């Protein structure tokens, strides 16, 4: 439980899985570790799966995590995979900050649709 990730080099994608109850340190620790991971490439798209997340992420945490991202020379895609209305709101808030960094976002409820969008042009 918490915030974890898997790097799929074959799909050039990072899957972040959020489950159970989390706090700001879970998010920040995961994204800090991911930022410095040897397999992570700057052009990798990301799927953030929050369907099993039980906590409400506050504005301060959203801002802290989005601030870990740098402005991208090459645009990437970030698909938010959600199942609760509150998660949609948090994803929208994060999206508004990430779009300024050349990270294009969309919110999905269906995993296949999210993966298809990430793999498409």
| Total tally of structural domains belonging to the chain | 1
What the block records as the tokens of 121 is 């042009």
- Give the total residue count for the chain: 121
CA distance 14 to 78: 9
CATH code at position 58: 3.30.750.24
Tens of pLDDT along 72-87? 767 889 888 888 755 6
As a whole-number percent, the residues of the chain with pLDDT over 90 amount to: 32
**Per-residue model confidence (pLDDT) at position 113:** 95
* Phi, psi at 99, each rounded to 5°: -60, -30
- Tokens representing 50 are 């929050």
Boundaries of domain holding 53: 2-119
pTM of the model: 0.83
Q: Could you give phi then psi for residue 80, rounded to 5 degrees?
A: -90, 125
């Amino acid at each position: 439980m918490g915030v974890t990730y898997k790097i799929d080099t074959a799909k050039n994608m990072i899957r972040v899985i959020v489950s159970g109850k989390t706090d700001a340190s879970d998010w920040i620790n995961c994204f800090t570790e991911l930022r410095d991971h040897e397999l992570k490439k700057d052009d990798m798209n990301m799927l953030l799966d929050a369907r099993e997340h039980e906590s409400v992420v506050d504005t301060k945490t959203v801002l802290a995590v989005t601030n870990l991202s740098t402005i991208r020379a090459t645009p990437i895609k970030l698909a938010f995979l959600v199942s609760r209305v509150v998660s949609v709101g948090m994803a929208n808030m994060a999206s508004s900050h990430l779009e300024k960094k050349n990270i294009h976002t969309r919110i999905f409820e269906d995993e296949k649709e999210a993966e298809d969008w990430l793999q498409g042009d």
